[in-house]
Structure 1
Amino acid sequence: MSVEIILLTKSRKYNNYCIAGVDLTSGKWIRLVSSQRDIHCAVPEVDLIYEDGSQAQILDVIRVELTKAVPLHFQPENHEYNSEYYWTKLRSSSLGEVVKLLEQHPDPYVFHNIDKRLLSSFVSGLSPSQHYSLKFIFVPRAVLSVERYEKIKYKISFSYNGVHYNDFSVTDEGYIRKYQSVGRFVLNNVGLVISLGEIFDMDQCHYKLVAAIIQ
């Protein structure tokens, strides 16, 4: 089965990629996952290469061959793609088209609470209708904090629906690559794609990750 989606995330996951987008037909989220369990079903970079040698980018409209739905209770949007076929770029899209098309979960919060994480026990106790792991929001102002420890870490804070959210980790390498100096940077009028991650073993929580920053 083929599907056409607007690509909205291209973030790092286990040295490969987390890829998700919006189905042009249904307006629903689809997260594309590989069959490679050793990399937690992340998408290898080679699968992002179109037949002409160029690489898939955020806001590309792409056609992908799917094999099956592989939902997890904390990531119900997951679909496994067929790696024997190239992805095909059909055209480019825009945030305006995304906003008109996207059908979102009605949760007024960013994943059920005002924290940057959810206890796995809370997530597993949700009803099927409450499960979702991808959200797009538009914010007039966000603050990107760059800190250096053993490596550079990127956190973002923003307000949404009258609630302030602090220190969400950013996994959008394409966007943050230009920020190499320690400091705080104001981002005006940005779209944020936020993803709920896998269980972090040290505290048994799912962290909320900013998978894409789109201006």
Structure 2
Amino acid sequence: MPSLKRIVCLANSWKLKERCIAGIDLDTGKWIRPVCEKYTEDGRVPREVRLVEGKEPELLDILGIPLADTGTDFGFECENLTILSGRWQILGKASPASLLSFLEKTPVNLNYEDYILHNSIKYVNVSYLQSLPFPERRTLQLIHATKFCVQQKEGNKGFREWKGTLETSDGKRLTDAKITDPVFIKKLESGYQIKGEYLVTVSLSLPWAYNNWEGEPPCWKLIAGMIEISESPNEQNDLIVQTDQEIERIGWDVTQGRRYLQHKFNKQSRQQLTLWELTQFLNYLKSLPDDSDPPSESKIY
């Protein structure tokens, strides 16, 4: 019987006139990219396979997809699992706030704290990825962009393309990355104005090089999924209630909580925190045992 995996959809992006679907497995916290055996060179997912009741999967949909436990890696992708026969399902909907915890599950030994997908430039060479142990050949990453801007530029075939530049709160930056999220592109072409903060799925392309490129064809960093983080009062209040419960459990008083917020976020109260910062604070509190003393300033950073 096929294994139905529960994936929160974080990318449904253009791939050679079809789509690349990717998301995080809610049971393991790991990225999955479903690949179709029909397309042996790239694994793109055709319309007749991916549609659910005639509709495209949307970002934040929780999908049930029949998948094998392995898949063609095309020489460098560790996230790929082969699509098996069976019907795709929509099992529910995730909220942006519920995904913020996945940003903190980055393994520290993969340089992900320092870079967006392996390095500070706009591409990664296949030879570098192949030099890594297989589980570290990451080609997908979820980014919290506190700054984001877009512009249209001429692409390699003379067509106009949307390019995005993003920056994280800790200064990681990606410049002029091609946007392949069709829903976000349609919004931009309809006059959508960039605002607030975003969760961004960054993906690596298949190897490709410009004319007269020197060296091996690289994998380019793409902006494959854009999710706007709205500062919903209901979500913020819910997170504050959860932090109240955790603070009571560990036995902190108001002064101890404020001291942590001041040292960690340079803010005096939880009402001043963003959703991302509130989630960070909540996850930290959950990691503490009962009746814990606040950390010293040196251990906060």
More strand by share: 1
Alignment pair present for 1:162 and 2:171: yes
Deviations for 1:135-159, whole angstroms, at most 9, x for unmatched residues? 0011121011112463221111112
2:45 alignment partner in structure 1: 43
| Preserved contact between residue 5 and residue 66 of structure 2 (Cα < 8 Å) | yes
Percent of counterpart pairs with the same letter?
Answer: 24
Where do residues 13-162 of structure 1 align in structure 2 (5 Å cutoff)?
Answer: 13-37=15-39, 40-50=42-52, 52-72=53-73, 73-82=75-84, 84-101=85-102, 103-106=105-108, 107-108=112-113, 109-148=115-154, 150-160=158-168, 161-162=170-171
Cα distance in 1 for residues equivalent to 2:219 and 2:154 = 24
Deviations for 1:58-101, whole angstroms, at most 9, x for unmatched residues? 1111111113411524210000111x311011111111122235
Deviations for 1:106-139, whole angstroms, at most 9, x for unmatched residues? 3121112110011222222223353211100111
- TM-score, structure 1 normalization: 0.89
1:207 alignment partner in structure 2: 220
| Preserved contact between residue 68 and residue 81 of structure 1 (Cα < 8 Å) | no
Query: Could you list the runs of 5+ residues in structure 1 that have no partner in the other structure?
Result: none
Where do residues 167-206 of structure 1 align in structure 2 (5 Å cutoff)?
Answer: 167-180=176-189, 186-202=194-210, 203=213, 204-206=217-219
* 3-state DSSP of counterpart to 2:146: strand
* 3-state DSSP of counterpart to 1:79: strand
| Preserved contact between residue 24 and residue 31 of structure 2 (Cα < 8 Å) | yes
- TM-score, structure 2 normalization: 0.65
| Preserved contact between residue 116 and residue 172 of structure 2 (Cα < 8 Å) | no
* 3-state DSSP of counterpart to 2:58: coil
Query: Could you list the runs of 5+ residues in structure 2 that have no partner in the other structure?
Result: 229-301
What CA RMSD, in Å, does the superposition of the two structures yield over aligned residues?
Answer: 2.3
Cα distance in 2 for residues equivalent to 1:38 and 1:5 = 23
Cα distance in 1 for residues equivalent to 2:195 and 2:76 = 30
| Preserved contact between residue 49 and residue 86 of structure 1 (Cα < 8 Å) | no
Cα distance in 2 for residues equivalent to 1:145 and 1:189 = 17
More helix by share: 2
Return the index of the structure with the highest Cα Rg.
2
Greater mean deviation of Cα atoms: 64-73 or 136-145: 64-73
Cα distance in 1 for residues equivalent to 2:107 and 2:224 = 18
Cα distance in 2 for residues equivalent to 1:117 and 1:105 = 21
